[in-house]
Every structure is written in C-alpha cells, then in structure tokens.
Amino acid sequence: MMLRIKRVPTVVSNFQKEEAEEDSRHAGGCGRNCFRNCCLPGAKLPMYTFKNVNKIEGEKKSVVSENKEHPVAFLDSLLLGEWEDRMQRGLFRYDVTACETKVIPGQYGFIAQLNEGRHLKKRPTEFRVDKVLQPFDENKFNFTKVGQEEVLFQFEPSTDNEVKFFPNAPIDIENSPSVVAINVSPIEYGHVLLIPRILECLPQRIDRESFLLALYMAAEAGNPYFRLGYNSLGAFATINHLHFQAYYLAVQFPIEKAPTRKITTTSGGVKICDILNYPVRGLVFEGGNTLEELSNVISDSCICLQDNNIPYNVLIADSGKRIFLLPQCYAEKQALGEVSSELLDTQVNPAVWEISGHMVLKRKEDYEEASEENAWRLLAEVSLSEERLHEVKDLLFEAISCSMEEDKGVTQNILEESDVSPQSLEDVDALKGSHPAIMSV
Amino acid sequence: MESQLGLIEQSFDLRYSGWVREALNELPDSFTITDPCISGHPIVFVSNGFLKIFGYSKDEVIGRNGRVFQGPETDRRSVMEIREAIREERAIQISLLNYRKDGTPFWMLFHMCPVFSKEDGRVINFVGVQVPIPKRPRHSGHTAVNSCENGAQLYKGAFRCCRREVCSDTVVELGRASALDSVSNPDDGEVGINDPCEARELEKRKANAAASNILSILTRYSELSGKLVCGKCCSVSGMGLLGSSLNISLGRIKQSFVLSDPHLPDMPIVYASDMFLELTGYARHEVLGHNCRFLSGLDTDPATQYQIKEYIRTEQPCTVRILNYRKDKTPFWNLLHISPVRNATGKVAYFVGVQIDDSCKNQEENGLSPHRRQLGVVGAVKVAVRSLSMGASTS
C-alpha cells in the first residue's frame, strides 16, 4: 500500500502550473525565457564565486588579521539587492513584509506569521510520502522550467581561491552551474532557493558535494540570521528537484535556544549533540577542523537516513557553524490517519522552518490564538519517539564511523560501549590527533 | 584605521573626560568597554588586567569586536546568547571559552551589562568583565567535555574530570557507565546545558563586584562632562529614536542612507549612517530630528521634490536625481532611491533614503552597479526593521 496525502502545494515559481498542463506544453518550444535548452544558450547571469579553501580552525588563528568590523558581507548585499530588485519588478505573488508577524510570548518565542496568500487556492494534488528516495520525473515541475528572471545569480567555487563577482557571466551548459533563485511565495524577506547543478536535474536527495555547497553559502553570507533549510521527500519537500531554501529573519529561532547535550566529538573535531527540552528530537552538529569535515559528517548522516527511508529536515544556522538534523514521521502519521483533525485543520505542514519554530498560518484565528502550547503540541507530533531516535542514532553513528574509516584510511580504535577496557585507556592521551577514535553512545 | 581609532578614543574621552582611563585602570580586573553606536560595535576601552590575561597590547584590542577572542571550540549557543543580550540591551553572565593571543583557550565567566544615557535612555556602552575560571577536577554531575591545561578536550561523555591522570582512574571505576546516566542529573541545576566549566560563587561575586565598581567610576566621571549615565534605563526618549539593536544592525551597512519616520510631525530623520554624514559633511546631532529637505537648496528642482512627496504619499519606491548641498554649501547631484519600510505589523514604519553621489556613480564596487547597491541597502534595512519589531521588547 502506497502512502499518500492530499496537499495544496506552495507555488515557488511563476511558471509552476498544474502538472497536467505541463505535460501538454512540454513538447513544443517555449518562449518563456526558461532554463532549458530552448532558451538557455547564450543566456547570461551574474556569478558569485566563493573561496573554497578549507579553513583550518584547529591551528592557531592569527587574530590580528581577522576582519575588524564584520560589515555586511558582499554576498549578503548581492542577495538582498537582487531580491529587492525582483520585488520592485513585481515578480512575487505578494509583499511578505506586509504580512503581520510576531514572536509568541513564552519561554521559546515561537514565531507566527499571518499569511493568507501563500498557499495557492487550487485543487489539492496527491503526494507520495512513504519514499524518501524517488527518481526525478521530467514531467513534473522542476527548476529548469522557471523563468530566467527568477534566477538571481550563479553560485560556484572559484578557480583561483578568490572571491569574485561577475555581473554578466555566461551559463556553462556543459558544466551545470549551481544557481540561486527566488521563491515567489516567500515566507520571509529574501526567501530564495539554492539549486545545486540545476541542469543535472538531481532528485531531492543530499550528497556530499551539494551539502558542502549549502554550507559554503551560509558561511559566505556571514549573517547568523540568514539560514538555510532542507526538506527531504516525506518531510514536506514540495518539489523533487534538489534544492535548499534560505531567507532572512533577524530573531532567534526557538530551536536555536534549546539546550543541548554533547554525545561525542568525531576525530575530525565535529561535535554532535542531542537537542533537549524541545518538542522535536534530533541532533546538532558543530565545530569540525574544517568546513568539509563538518559537512561530510552531516551529509553522511543524511545519506544514511535516506538509505533507510527515514524522512528528515536539516536547518543550517549560525552562518553554517551549527546544523540541526531532525528525522520526522508526521507525513506517515498523517497518511495513516493518526493526526488529530484539529491539527490538520491548521494546514501547517511541519517542514524545516516550522520545526525550527517559524510558523506560517493561513487563518486569522490560528494567528490570533497562536500560543507556545499549540506550537509545542503540533511539533511534538512530528518528532520521532525517544526509542525510535535511539535506533536511528545507532544507525547514524555506525554510518559516520564507517565513512571516517574510509576517509582516513587509517586503523582506528572505535570504542564501542561493550569494548571499554583498561587497554583502551592509553588512547585517552592521544585522542586528539594521531589516534582518531569515536565513542558511540 | 588610525583615524577610526582616534575617533573611538575621542568619543569615549568626550563622554567621561580624559581622567576616566586612569581611574578605570586602578581596578585590577579584566574588562572591556564597547560602544554599540559605532559601527562594528568595537571595544573603546580595555583594562590592563585584560591585556595581562589575554596577552595582547592595547592597540591590538581597541577597535576590535569582542568576537575576535572566541575560537573554534567556543560554544556557539553561548555566543548566540551574548548576541541576543546585546540586542535586547540586558545584562548576562555566562561561562565562555576564550582564546589568548598565543592561541591557548581558557574558560572564563563573562559578565556583561549595559550603560544607559540618563538623557535619552539609549545604551551608550556595554561593560564586559572577564573572570577566569581556574581548572579543577570535577566530582559531580557535569556533563561531557572538560578542558585541560592546554585546552585539549577529552571526548568521553561519561567521564567528568578535568585532568588526564584523574580521568584514567575514573574510567576504571566507572567502567561501562553509560553517558546518558551520568549526564541526566536533575539535582545539578540546569540539566544538560553544555557548560562544562561552571563558575563558582567566588567567580560570580568577583564579576558582580567588578562590574559595580566600573559602573560607579563611569557614573562619577560622566558627571564631569554633563552627559550622565546610569546602570538602568531611566528615561524613554520621545523622539522616536531607534533602540541599540536596530542601531547595531543598521551600523553594519556601509553606505550612505537615512531613515525617516512618517508618523512624526514633518517626517524627521531618525537614523543617519556614518557615510551619510561623510557625504554631506554634517554631524549626527545636526541631522537627527530634521526633515531631509535641508539637503536641498537654491537650484534644487522643486518638481523633483514634489515627485518625492508623491511617491512617499502613495508608499511607492522611487529613484530620482536631485541637486543637493553639503554643509559647506557645495552642490552635488544625488542619485536618491527612496523606499517604504514596513515593520512586523505589516504597516509602513519608516522610509529609507539611499544616496549616491552622481559623480561617483560610474564606480562599480566589486561589480555591483550603484543601483544594485542601493537596493541592497533597502533589503538590509527592511530585514532589520521587520525582524527587530517582532518581539515584546521593541524599541
């Protein structure tokens, strides 16, 4: 039995139409200035290339050379400027800054927004929610079908280790660039989509390269209030074409305030913690000797979840220095009829932003009556149980230590709970450095 | 950079008089004083006690932001808490891992508190006191990582000790203790908060005392200049001036722009960036509270002025080219972009005006056209105003 739910999906592009219509249009030429072969050759877009030198943080930092003032970073400025430009050109379905928003009083400060225009009023479509990995389907909407005016710039690693900006760079069709596009139904100001290697039409699934790209974007923007998010299929991704979302909101997200408890630190210096006192259970990753170390531990974790058909969301916060990984089960519960109608009526689909504590509400009464208890109750339905999370963590830690073995190519002492013995005490001295070891819980 | 350093020291001396530095340095404690009104929120005073502990010279510290003393193992959540305390203009006391000049990390109790202007209730300074937390073996109920002399961290979740020798014994004793058991210990106060090196009462008292002494000195010396300060927010300005959180956010935008408040009579300027002051030659106090028409003069086209008024009335963004005059009466063509800015209620709260000197307009900075740069400012202002008006404690 295939699990499905009915949903009114959010329109993210001005060219997103009914799937049925798409089929008939696809055959002919286009004239819509889209991102496919009919319109792309010869097209140009601004390009931002970032420095992809791994920052070696373990070494002594030269503090004096640090940029003194921390002004608005260039990428930040570029993104905001391009977004405001599209705003003034009328490309968005509504002005999100005209939507009322507030922080709900309470311990955590959940954020509520009244947005009646976000979800398109059309007949609901059916989404399959029981498979995290599904093959890319050309016939469904994907980002090559957006108009070029919705794409803000190309985002690529630089070839010569310098940050560069090209106002008018050709689009290399052979080596598909990664691009940043607007979301025409924005949740907040600056809501964009990061689409890795757009022309390769990758399905919605994380791989090491794409996740690293997302982390670089967060780091380049250098703004702790510019966060990236990812929803797997089955965790309320709307489009099966690999993408991350991002937007600006200069307040703390509730999930960022939750206390954490360290589980372990990998040999690459990545600290992994449990999230405590929060309705949704999950893991937090920070640190890492390099950005790449941090990225790989997380993407390997995501791949493990994908391979085990566990839907999940990822929040990249603190300019790429803190990442939250949240396995969830809400869609499955919904399909099995296990969610109360009261919660279903709010039509809040708990994707990464909602789980992080930012709720967009469609009905005025939901907005007026929004409370920390309501938010907590909804999110508690999303979370995996303690036992289930424990199982998932076992899977993850096994996957991570396996990958690290492959990476390092060095014999490791992996301290399992059952293997603690006086012998391994010698490793205590050498934990950081030559004897990489990981303690599993 | 020299001129900025000079400005920084000057503004501090102006408020408290030149004698305050001597008085502050009579205190043995490690502390810094920052100024949120200067963009970048830099340190404007650093005590000798601080320089001794951290190993820096004065010139390496003045003008820097406090974050430069953090490092790769500084807990991110703690950094976030400090950032939010600054935004909300309140005091905070928190254990934090800092790094000395030679790269060695150490734990300290960080105590920060705001200093308010008695005149208009704005936050003038933040005082930050650092009390080092000495290393000691732990005996009960703290979690996870502890730092040792050279900052090397032990990764055994279950074992809560600080020194390797002690640790090995404990390992044998505890054997296969599961990390979960050792960690969830409700009697130890805040469960699970990743705070391995907690300050004792001694450190907290030291911090409170130091902060109190510093505040007394600042209060006393502020009387000399007549620009009184106090430790509590004692007055609320009726001018609609922006709170320090919005000030800090806007201060990061390195372009010429102003914010005007359409809800106040004659729509006065409530914020002016440093670069606006540079462009026009005016000082901040000459500009705040006035309508921007003072920039126009004899040869300014009244039709353009009328156009601006119309766009503002209809809450539409616009770009115009208007002849403006600096304080020294020299004219310049101003490529002015104006846009309405809404706050969290969804309604227009301010208008932002971004100025570009037309004679410089062909300078593309980093490949971004001047118009794009103006729009970048509008975006940054919109995010700041919307976000910072969302909570209960708004300015």
B40: left (phi over 0), alpha (psi -120 to 50) or beta: left
Among A191, A241, A243, A358, the one annotated catalytic: A243
Q: Which CATH superfamily is domain A44-431 in?
A: ATP adenylyltransferase (3.30.428.70)
The ipTM is 0.84
Decide if B164 and A432 are in contact by the 8 Å CB cutoff.
no
Q: d(Cα B171, Cα B88) in Å, to the nearest integer?
A: 44
Decide if B344 and A105 are in contact by the 8 Å CB cutoff.
no
For chain B, positions 85-124, list CB contacts with chain A under 8 A: 99, 101-103
From A274, A58, A43, A289, select the one nearest A148 (Cα to Cα).
A43
- Inter-CA distances, A105 with A350, A362, A370, A372, B392, Å: 21, 20, 10, 7, 8
Q: d(Cα B73, Cα B284) in Å, to the nearest integer?
A: 40
Place of tokens 């000797």: A289
Element (H, E) at A301: helix A291-307
Query: What pLDDT, on the 0 to 100 scale, is given for residue A54?
Result: 53
Residue-wise burial string across A380-407, b where 16 or more C-beta atoms lie within 10 A, e elsewhere: ebbbbeeeebeebbebbbebbbebbeee
Residue B69: closest C-alpha in chain A:
A63
- Where does chain B have alpha helices with state H? 2-16, 20-25, 48-54, 76-87, 164-174, 179-183, 201-225, 244-251, 274-280, 284-287, 302-313, 370-388
Q: d(Cα B384, Cα B344) in Å, to the nearest integer?
A: 10
- Count how many residues are written for chain B: 395
Residue B341 C-alpha from the chain's centroid:
23
Q: d(Cα B140, Cα B189) in Å, to the nearest integer?
A: 12
Decide if A85 and B153 are in contact by the 8 Å CB cutoff.
no
Here the tokens at position A60 are: 């002594």
The angle that helices A208-221 and A74-88 make with each other, rounded to 10 degrees, is 90
- Inter-CA distances, A19 with A15, A16, B163, B326, Å: 11, 8, 64, 59
* Closest CA of chain B from A9, distance in Å: 25
Give chain A's residues under pLDDT 70.
17-29, 53-72, 120-127, 403-441
Query: What pLDDT, on the 0 to 100 scale, is given for residue A51?
Result: 83
Tens of pLDDT along A188-224?
A: 999 999 999 999 999 999 999 999 999 999 999 988 9
The residues pairing with A151 across neighbouring beta strands, listed in sequence order, are A181
Residue A438: closest C-alpha in chain B:
B155
Nearest to A72 among B101, B164, B254 (CB): B254
Q: d(Cα A17, Cα A141) in Å, to the nearest integer?
A: 8
DSSP secondary structure, B299-329, as one string: TS-HHHHHHHHHHHHTT--EEEEEEEE-TTS
Q: d(Cα B37, Cα B117) in Å, to the nearest integer?
A: 12
Question: DSSP label at B59?
Answer: G
User: Chain B interface, mutation test: which of A68, A97, A152, most B Cβ atoms within 10 Å?
Assistant: A97
- Strands laid side by side in the A111-114 sheet: A101-103, A111-114, A358-361
* Closest CA of chain A from B358, distance in Å: 19
- Answer yes or no: are the C-beta atoms of B16 and B218 closer than 8 Å: yes
User: What is the number of CB-based contacts under 8 A between chain A and chain B?
Assistant: 214
Nearest to A265 among B42, B84, B153 (CB): B153
* Closest CA of chain B from A337, distance in Å: 34
- Answer yes or no: are the C-beta atoms of A418 and A379 closer than 8 Å: no
Residue B121 C-alpha from the chain's centroid:
16
User: Chain B interface, mutation test: which of A59, A70, A413, most B Cβ atoms within 10 Å?
Assistant: A70
Is B350 an interface residue toward A (CB < 8 Å)?
no
- Inter-CA distances, B305 with A55, B271, B294, Å: 51, 21, 12
The residues pairing with B230 across neighbouring beta strands, listed in sequence order, are B116
- Answer yes or no: are the C-beta atoms of B99 and B72 closer than 8 Å: no
Query: What pLDDT, on the 0 to 100 scale, is given for residue B363?
Result: 65
User: Chain A interface, mutation test: which of B160, B386, B388, B393, most A Cβ atoms within 10 Å?
Assistant: B386
Q: d(Cα A225, Cα A189) in Å, to the nearest integer?
A: 11
Q: Is A243 a catalytic residue?
A: yes
Query: What pLDDT, on the 0 to 100 scale, is given for residue A76?
Result: 86
* Closest CA of chain A from B47, distance in Å: 19
Domain annotation for chain B: domains and CATH numbers: 2-230 (3.30.450.20), 253-394 (3.30.450.20)
DSSP three-state, residue A182: strand
For chain B, positions 150-189, list CB contacts with chain A under 8 A: 152-157, 164, 167-168, 171-172, 175-176, 178-180, 183
Rg (CA), chain B: 25
Is B141 an interface residue toward A (CB < 8 Å)?
no
* Closest CA of chain A from B244, distance in Å: 14
Q: How many C-beta atoms surround the C-beta of residue A201 within 10 A? A: 17
Mean pLDDT for each consecutive 10-residue tract of chain B (395 residues)? 70 85 94 86 94 94 92 89 88 94 93 88 90 72 38 33 35 33 35 56 93 93 80 56 78 92 95 94 92 95 95 95 96 96 96 92 71 94 94 48
